[in-house]
Amino acid sequence: MALSEFGLIARYFAACGAGRPDVRLGVGDDAALLVCPPGQELAAAIDTLVEGVHFPPGCSAASTGHRALAVNLSDLAAMGAQPAWALLALTLPSADEAWLSAFSQGLDRLARAHEVALVGGDTTHGPLCISVQILGHVPAGTALRRSGGSPGDILFVSGTPGDAAAGLMLEQGRLAAAPEAAAALRERFLFPTPRLALGARLRGHASACIDVSDGLLGDAGKLAAASGCGAELLLEELPLSAALVAAAGETRARELALTGGDDYELCFSVPAERVAALQQELPPGEWGYRAIGRLRAAADVYVSSAGRRLALAAAGYDHFS
């Protein structure tokens, strides 16, 4: 059944996400009107998912709705910011109501979990492509940046990177695993968890932070470069999930942890003298993060094992390379 563009928007997106008192005018006019709290900076990011590039053709619509918002929430997590409002630019080949219903539910569930209001958008006809714009706040002057690290700072990562890449390979039939491990890894690709609570708590502890979307090694390298540093990552310290090791074996698991994409974990640096305070306030076992290396003065970024440098081919996912 064909729905008009305006019918579509009204039906699936007008009530999507949380209600917020700081939304003066939401979906349905030429622009949304929003109230910024005093003393805060506005944090703004935009990220796009393209079918066949960021998710396989025919991927679950609920997952696509979740991921379209999650990848943006992850950007705010990396700044230590609190999300507030989102806008959705949705380009669709056809007005498939079953797809739209599942997509909007996936988006809605995650938006409500983080009290994000959907305040505007644009629905257009074309190859499936989803851009979400996220807006949030962070107390002025306190945001985490990529550029604040110094040589000697300890590098940490949250979660167990590599899981999402294995989950995508399972979705695509390029990897096989026992049902329990397969389900856990698929879940990490289809429904990643933006680390908003951790990011907010890292303000005042971390010297620099980035979200891991294109592979840990590449993204740690970006943090290091923005900080004018190099980095050493310790192969044996990479946090690997039992599911990943079971599905891929330990060697391949470490490769995926270093170069797989789509994890949406946080990689952050902490001055060595502040690590004890960090670990006291945010116990690593409870908050799920682990030291994996350190920033160095020399500009190169490498992985070492038992004190020896390793040669690695892929340095994270890069469009157009």
Residue 313 binds to its own copies (criterion: CB under 8 A): no
User: From the CB of 167, what's the least distance to its own copies, in Å?
Assistant: 20
Q: Which residues contact 277 (CB under 8 A, 6 or more apart)?
A: 205
Residue 32 binds to its own copies (criterion: CB under 8 A): yes
Question: According to CB under 8 A, which one of 25, 183, 297, 314 is a site residue for its own copies?
Answer: 25
How many residues bind its own copies (CB under 8 A)? The answer is 73
- Give residues 222-281 in contact with its own copies (rule: CB under 8 A): 226
Distance CA 146, CA 78 (A): 9
Q: In this structure, are residues 70 and 194 in contact, taking their beta carbons and an 8 Å threshold? A: yes
Question: According to CB under 8 A, which one of 62, 169, 206, 210 is a site residue for its own copies?
Answer: 210
Nearer to its own copies, 32 or 184 (CB): 32
Q: Is 225 helix (H, G, I), strand (E, B) or coil?
A: helix
Estimate to the nearest angstrom the gap between the alpha carbon of 200 and the chain centroid.
14
Residue 216 binds to its own copies (criterion: CB under 8 A): no
Distance CA 6, CA 9 (A): 5
User: From the CB of 128, what's the least distance to its own copies, in Å?
Assistant: 9
- Give residues 86-115 in contact with its own copies (rule: CB under 8 A): 87-89, 91, 94-95
Question: According to CB under 8 A, which one of 59, 69, 143, 224 is a site residue for its own copies?
Answer: 143
User: From the CB of 73, what's the least distance to its own copies, in Å?
Assistant: 11
- Give residues 112-141 in contact with its own copies (rule: CB under 8 A): 119-127, 129, 131, 133-136, 138, 140
Side-chain-side CA neighbours of residue 217 (13 Å): 27
Question: According to CB under 8 A, which one of 14, 19, 115, 147 is a site residue for its own copies?
Answer: 147
- Give residues 38-57 in contact with its own copies (rule: CB under 8 A): 38, 41-48, 50-54
3-state secondary structure 153-215: CEEEEECCCCHHHHHHHHHCCCCCCCHHHHHHHHHHHHCCCCCHHHHHHHCCCCCEEEEECCC
| Amino acid at position 214, single letter | D
